[in-house]
Amino acid sequence: MKLFLLLAHAISSMLLLGAITHQAIAVWMPGPTSGGFWRSLRAVHPQRYVTAIIVLFVFTMALGAVIYVPFRSEVRATYLDAHVPWATGLFEVKEHAAALALALMPAYWALWRNPEHRGSRRAVTTILLLVTWWNFVVGHVVNNLRGL
């Protein structure tokens, strides 16, 4: 069961990573509607990703919260804290970043509904992009050091 949840968490985070990266590219470098791969990537409608990103974020975090219990008691307490404390530190920052990103979700949703606040929308999307990448990389690093 733990393995299934961990895999679902990883797949969900990968989908989230793709969606938020795609949206951020379209926000920072909007492009024409036709052309090659790069131009097509920039030409997507970023507002169409909002619901998917919110659902994927909440789902990924919920799965992470469930598998956090065995991680905390079996992996972190027995190995990481004693042998690789820097990995615990990275994971602690990952937890905080995920919690703050979850807190940002209502503002993110509201900013994408209102075209007036373009700068804040771009900034919040960028923070979510950075948090998602950070959490994805740290999750993999820690799992490679000592997985569930």
Partner 1 sequence: MTRERLCWGASMGAMLGYVLAVLTSYPIRILYDPHSESWGLIDIPGQPVIAWYGWLINAALGALLGMLIVWPIRRPLPWALVWIVASLALLALGVHERHWFRH
* Residue 30 Rama label (left phi>0; alpha psi -120 to 50; beta): beta
Candidate list 17, 24, 124, 138; residue touching partner 1; CB under 8 A = 124
Nearer to partner 1, 57 or 108 (CB): 108
Stretch that binds partner 1, among 1-9, 18-26, 49-57, 109-117 (CB under 8 A): 109-117
Instruction: State the DSSP code for 11.
Output: H
Out of 63, 76, 129, 138, which residue is the one contacting partner 1 (CB under 8 A)? 76
Per CB under 8 A, 119 contacts partner 1: yes
User: Exposed (0-12), middle (13-18) or buried (19+): which is 127, by Cβ within 10 Å?
Assistant: middle
Neighbours of 21 (CB within 10 A): 15
Please provide the DSSP assignment of 29-91 as one string.
Answer: S---SSSSHHHHHHTS-GGGGHHHHHHHHHHHHHHHHHHHHHIIIIIIIIIIHHH-HHHHHHH
Residue 73 C-alpha from the chain's centroid: 24
3-class DSSP assignment, residue 114: coil
Residue 51 binds to partner 1 (criterion: CB under 8 A) = no
Is position 20 an interface residue for partner 1 (rule: CB under 8 A)? no
Shortest distance in whole angstroms from residue 104 CB to partner 1:
6
Shortest Å distance, C-beta 114 to partner 1: 6
Among 30, 35, 89, 147, binds partner 1 (CB under 8 A): 89
Q: Binding of partner 1 at residue 92 (CB under 8 A)?
A: yes
Residue 58 is a binding residue for partner 1 (CB under 8 A): no
Residues binding partner 1 (CB under 8 A): 65, 68-70, 72-73, 76-77, 85-86, 88-90, 92-93, 95-97, 99-100, 102-111, 113-114, 117, 119-120, 123-124, 127, 131
